[in-house]
Amino acid sequence: MTENPIYGIVAEFADPGLLVAAVAAVHSRGYRKVETYTPYPIHEVEEILEPGPERRLPRLVLAGGILGTLTAWGMQYYIAAIDYPLNIGGRPLNSWPAFIVIMFELTILFASLTAFFGMLGLCGLPLPHHPLFNLRRFALCSKNRFFLCVEAADPLFEVLEVADLLAGLDPLEVSEVYED
């Protein structure tokens, strides 16, 4: 037994089906700080657990895109018509049709970067270390094991109850995870 505060209790399953069942059970008991760790996305689980901040991503991306459009147009108009107006082949200073291409490109660029970094940000990444990594078998979660974690942060959290509950869900193993 270590002195570190407990992070949560983890159950390891060999089968995504069992995991989904377990999640349903735990969720029905009113536990909310529950998280699953799987080798690939399992939509059934996502259907049970409430969505978090990830809903905000599309809106962020939209904003990024609009910002890109405006940046591109502003830059081109300023440079071509205000900063250093030059007669280029007798064309008007604000040749907006010619500016559309770059407006489009920057829209995509800004939006894409927002999507990538937005996703990392909302995931709370980068996070080089996490208490779960203390659990050696957790490495299998990127291969062929399915983990369910009830976090200590949950108001209803009670070590023994949770452990019993999980043990009853046909896991390969149930283990306590400690902060470090």
Partner 1 sequence: MIIEEQQRHAQRRPDPDVTLPVIGPSQTFSIVTEQISSVPLRRKMPLLWQITFGIGLLLVFVLLISATYLFGKGVGIFGIQIPVAWGFAITNFVWWIGIGHAGTLISAFLLLLNQSWRNSINRFAEAMTIFAVACAGMFPLLHLGRPWLFYWILPYPNTMTVQPQFRSPLVWDVFAVSTYATVSVVFWYLGMIPDLAALRDQSTSRLKYAFYGVLCWGWRGGSRHWRLHESASLLLAGLATPLVLSVHTVVSFDFTIAILPGWHSTIFPPYFVAGAIYSGFAMVLVLALPIRAVFGLHNLITERHINNCAKLMLATGLILAYAYLIEPFTAWYGGSQFEIYAFHNRAFGPYAWAFWLVIACNVAIPQLLWIPRIRISPKPLFVISLAVLYGMWLERYMIIITSLHRDYVPSAWFNFTATIWDNAILFGSIGLFITLFALFVRFLPMISMYEVRTLLPFSAPDGRSEK
Partner 2 sequence: MPSIERDFIPVENLTGGDRECDERPTETSRRRFLELMGASLALAGASGCTRQPPEFILPYVEPPEHAIPGRPRYYATAVPAFGGAEGVIVETHLGRPTKVEGNPAHPASLGAASVRSQASVLDLYDPDRAREVTYLGSTRTWDDFLSAFRLRIEPLRPRNGAGFRLLTETVCSPSLGAQIQAVLTAFPEAVWHQYEPAGDHSARAGAQLAFGRPLNCYFRLDHADVILALDSDFLACGRNSTRMARDFATRRRQGNRLDMNRLYAVECTVSATGGKADHRLPVRYSEVESVARELTNALTSKGAPPSSGKNSAWIAAAAQDLLAHRGRSAIIAGEQQSPVVHALAHQMNAALGNVGKTVNYTEPLEVRPEDEIESLRALMRDMDAGGVEVLLIVGGNPVYNAPADLAFAERLRKVKTAVHAGLHFDETSQLCDWHVPASHFFEEWSDTRAFDGTVTILQPMIEPLYETRSILALLDGIRQYPPRSSYEIVRAYWAGQHKGADFEAWWRKSVCDGLVADSAMPPIEPGLTAWQPQAAADQPGGPEVVFRPDPYIHDGSWSNNNWLQELPRPITKLTWDNAVHLSPTTARNLSLKNEDLVRLRCGARSVEGAVWISQGQPDDSVTVHLGFGRTRGGRAANGAGFNAYLLRTSDAMWAGAPLAIDKTGRTYRLATTQPQQEMAGRDLILENTPEGYRRDPDFVSRTQPEPPKDESLYPTWRYAEHAWGMSIDLTACVNCNACVAACQAENNIPVVGKEEVLRHRAMHWIRIDTYYKGDPERPTLYYQPVPCMQCENAPCELVCPVQATNHSSEGLNDMVYNRCVGTRYCSNNCPYKVRRFNFFLFQDWVTESIKMQRNPDVSVRSRGVMEKCTYCVQRIREAEIRATTQDRRIREGEIQTACQQSCPTQAIVFGDINRPDSQVSRLKAEKLNYALLAELNTRPRTTYLAELRNPNPVLKGEGV
* Shortest Cβ 90–partner 2 spacing (Å): 4
Q: How far apart are CA 31 and CA 156, in angstroms?
A: 7
Q: How far is the CB of 40 from partner 1 (least distance, A)?
A: 4
Distance CA 89, CA 30 (A): 72
- Would you state the structure tokens that stand for residue 59, as one six-digit string? 């809106």
Q: Which residue in the set 3, 87, 127, 155 belongs to the binding site for partner 2 (CB under 8 A)?
A: 87
> Does residue 90 belong to the site contacting partner 2 (CB under 8 A)?
yes
Q: How far is the CB of 20 from partner 1 (least distance, A)?
A: 10
What number of CA atoms fall less than 13 Å from residue 170's CA on the CB side? Answer: 10
* Minimum distance from residue 153 beta carbon to partner 1 (Å): 14
Q: Go through the chain and tell me how many residues it has.
A: 180
**Following DSSP, what letter does each residue of 142-158 receive, concatenated?**
GTT-EEEEEETTSTT--
Euclidean distance between CA atoms 20 and 16, whole angstroms: 6
CB of 82 to partner 2, least distance (A): 15
Q: What gap in Å lies between CA 14 and CA 144, rounded to an integer? A: 7
Q: How far apart are the first and last CA of the chain?
A: 13
Bridge partner list, 150 = 9, 34
Residues that bind partner 1 (CB under 8 A): 13-17, 35-42, 45-46, 49, 51-52, 54, 57-58, 61, 65, 75-76, 79-80, 83-84, 86, 88-89, 91, 95, 98-99, 101-102, 104-106, 108-109, 111-113, 115-116, 118-120, 122-123, 125-130, 132, 139-145, 172
Residue number, 20 or 162, with CB nearest to partner 1: 20
Pick what 111 binds: partner 2, partner 1, none; C-beta below 5 to 8 Å, kind-dependent. partner 1
State the residue for tokens 């502003």. 74
User: Cβ closer to partner 1: 98 or 167?
Assistant: 98
What residues line the site for partner 2 (CB under 8 A)? Answer: 86-92
